[in-house]
Amino acid sequence: MRTTAYVLAADPAFLTESLLAYYPHVERIVVSYDENARSWTGTPLPVEECLQAIARLDTAGKCVLAPGHYARLDHDPLDNDTFQRQCALDQASEDADWVVQLDTDEVMPRPDTFLRTLHHADAAGAGGLEFPSRWLYAQVGPGTYLEAATRSGRLAANYPGPLAIRAGADLRLCRQSDTPLYRVDVRPWNSDPLHPRDVVVHEVIPESHAVVHFSWVRSEAAMRAKFGWSGHTAEYSEPAVYSRWKWRKDHPRAAALTSRLRGEEWYRIARISDPPISAPVAHRAPTGPTGRPAGARATAPTTPRDLR
């Protein structure tokens, strides 16, 4: 089975950890970026920093640079997101059976598990692999995070879209596609409150093997910038969103303890020691109004949880 990958070079925060996890297991990685270093909303991106990081880790010459024009200001940012991904996916699909589509702030702690389930998805005839990710809301301390949970305090897996997709597939929105999916979960029954209760789970993996999504693990400056410059500014720029995040980040245990009292947005404290987090997030995020924050997501939110 020939496996390639694509990444969108826009967010250097966890890029090295993310790529290095699956770098030995793919034949080629298409590095897609805007040729003018602009985001989908037209704001500047630290593309050069990303390309330098990729050049440092690309010891086997697997990375293929794929510049393009994706800051199409006459299009919706989500359309630009989908368009850039589709272009990258098409390039990565050449001489490939499957294409890994992980964002650069998503890290595989156990690539062997990911690849094993990918083989199972291939054998089952699926068009995409839905693999669970742990959605991190804030960093509490070294190796300790506030992560999305169910109301009862169990892990709530997050599915932004198939993390691997069959070569040549068509994307509908961001990473999502209308192809039949092979669903991996952390429990035998659906563990994502945002999905239907009776969604089919094909395989179960341990929680510690799920992809770790450092979604909102940012410094305060990076989060302010993210709220200002994301493609979802309308949602993020609500003062209450930042206030809630700031309070919960500063009072993580209270946020976790009061989860059950809330109708939604449930969290728990989780220790995630693998992989080692080498990136000092606070120093990565540009704070100026003209630069896309390091924490700005390369993908568009696809579920309400992403909009928190």
Partner 1 sequence: MTPGPQVSVVVRGGDSPALLVTCLEHLGALRTAPHEIILVDPGTDESTRHLVAEKFPDVVHLRPPRRPGRAQTPWQAGLSYASGDVVAFLGGDTRVDEFWLDALTTHYADPAVSAVGGRVVSASPASRGPHAVHAARADGEALAAHEATTGLASIGRVLPSGELTSFFGADPGRPVEVDHLPTANLSFRTAALASVGGFRAPGPGTTDHDATDAALRLSAAGHRLVFTPQAITRRDTAAEAPGRTDLRHLFGTRRDHLILLTGAYGWRHPLVRRYPATTLRDQHRHLRAAYRLLRARPDDHGSRPPLHRRAIWPVIFTRSVAELAGLAAGTLAALQLRSGHGSGHRSGHGSRHGSRHGSGHRPVATDPGS
Residue ranges that bind partner 1, judged by CB under 8 A: 121, 123-127, 180-182, 185, 188-189, 197-198, 200-204
Distance of CA 53 to the CA centre of its chain: 18
CB of 110 to partner 1, least distance (A): 18
CB of 255 to partner 1, least distance (A): 29
User: Based on the number of CB atoms within 10 Å of its own CB, is 6 exposed (0-12), middle (13-18) or buried (19 or more)?
Assistant: buried
Rank residues 72 and 202 by Cβ distance to partner 1 and give the closer one. Answer: 202
CB of 187 to partner 1, least distance (A): 8
**Residue 307 one-letter amino acid:** L
Cα-based angle 175, 178, 181 (whole degrees, multiple of 5): 85
CB of 182 to partner 1, least distance (A): 5
Buried b (16+ CB within 10 A) or exposed e, 145-164: bbbbbbeeeebbbbbbbbbb
Can you tell me the distance from the alpha carbon of 123 to that of 180, in angstroms, rounded to the nearest whole number? 13
Question: How many residues appear in the chain?
Answer: 308
Question: Count of CB atoms within 10 A of residue 56's CB?
Answer: 9
Can you tell me the distance from the alpha carbon of 110 to that of 273, in angstroms, rounded to the nearest whole number? 12
Rank residues 29 and 201 by Cβ distance to partner 1 and give the closer one. Answer: 201
CB of 46 to partner 1, least distance (A): 38
Rank residues 203 and 220 by Cβ distance to partner 1 and give the closer one. Answer: 203
Instruction: Please list, in sequence order, all residues whose beta carbon lies within 8 angstroms of the beta carbon of residue 41, skipping any fewer than 6 positions away.
Output: 71, 73, 77, 229, 230, 231, 233
CB of 113 to partner 1, least distance (A): 15
Please confirm whether the linkage preceding 275 is cis (ω < 30° from 0): yes
Rank residues 103 and 185 by Cβ distance to partner 1 and give the closer one. Answer: 185
CB of 293 to partner 1, least distance (A): 37
Rank residues 131 and 227 by Cβ distance to partner 1 and give the closer one. Answer: 131
Name the percent of the chain in helix, strand, coil, to the closest 5.
Answer: 30, 20, 45
Rank residues 2 and 271 by Cβ distance to partner 1 and give the closer one. Answer: 2
Q: In what order do the strands lie in the sheet with 63-68?
A: 63-68, 29-34, 3-8, 98-101, 164-166, 128-130, 181-185, 203-204
Rank residues 56 and 197 by Cβ distance to partner 1 and give the closer one. Answer: 197
Rank residues 181 and 222 by Cβ distance to partner 1 and give the closer one. Answer: 181
